[in-house]
Chain A
């Protein structure tokens, strides 16, 4: 069945460091791919998405490119801030079901 694998955390970075959170998937067909974020004390919310191969989703300085050849959707940000500390979830949606990864907790130190 469909699945999502993302790098285990926690990831600890200093402010202004470069961030990569790896996400790979297995799926039949052509799913849409998402990154959701859960800030401390808040609900889950969409960060960015891509609906077809080679699409790049971007938001708040974060980017991810839908790579069909490597079945990946890695999340990147060039310079993280303390306010980016959160749990990040990679997800795929095909048909009615959305499959989420286990989440990666990011800590950013000042």
Chain B
């Protein structure tokens, strides 16, 4: 597709349920990033993929959060046993094949997660 897509655009869930958030990066982009944007806050780095591997998982806030990427394309962020503090907009971004620090990241529209 033309840009990064994410689904669902909105997700309302009950505390304790598991959720899966999906990201489709720009075709050919090997680098993929997940961020969390809480109300009034900046973007919090969660995880980075280069291809299918995640050399940096340091941003995942707890072991309830996990992410995978298969086929070097689609990525899924899973949050288990959701808590109210997980409510936020989850953003995905991808970047050019070089995947270096100077590459421009292209962001998806985000998934707004609300945990009741």
Contacts and interface: CB of A to CB of B under 8 A. Distances in A.
Interface stretch (A12-20, A75-83, A94-102): A94-102
Given A100-B43, A103-B42, A43 B108 contact: yes
Contacts of B50: 96
Contact of A101 (B33, B42, B109, B110): B42
Contacts of B42: 4, 89, 100-103
Interface stretch (B66-74, B77-85, B99-107): B99-107
Residues of A in contact with B, size category: 20 to 34
Contact of B102 (A49, A96, A100): A49
A94 to B, nearest CB: 5
Residues of B in contact with A, size category: 20 to 34
Contacts of B109: 43
Contacts of A91: 43
Contact of B101 (A89, A93, A101): A93
A58 to B, nearest CB: 15
Contacts of B106: 45-46
B23 to A, nearest CB: 12
B113 interface: no
A32 interface: yes
Interface of A: 4, 31-32, 34, 36, 43-46, 49, 51, 89, 91, 93-103
Interface of B: 33, 35, 40-45, 48, 50, 55-56, 58-59, 91, 93, 101-110
Given A43-B109, A44-B93, 4 more contacts: A89-B42, A91-B43, A96-B48, A101-B42
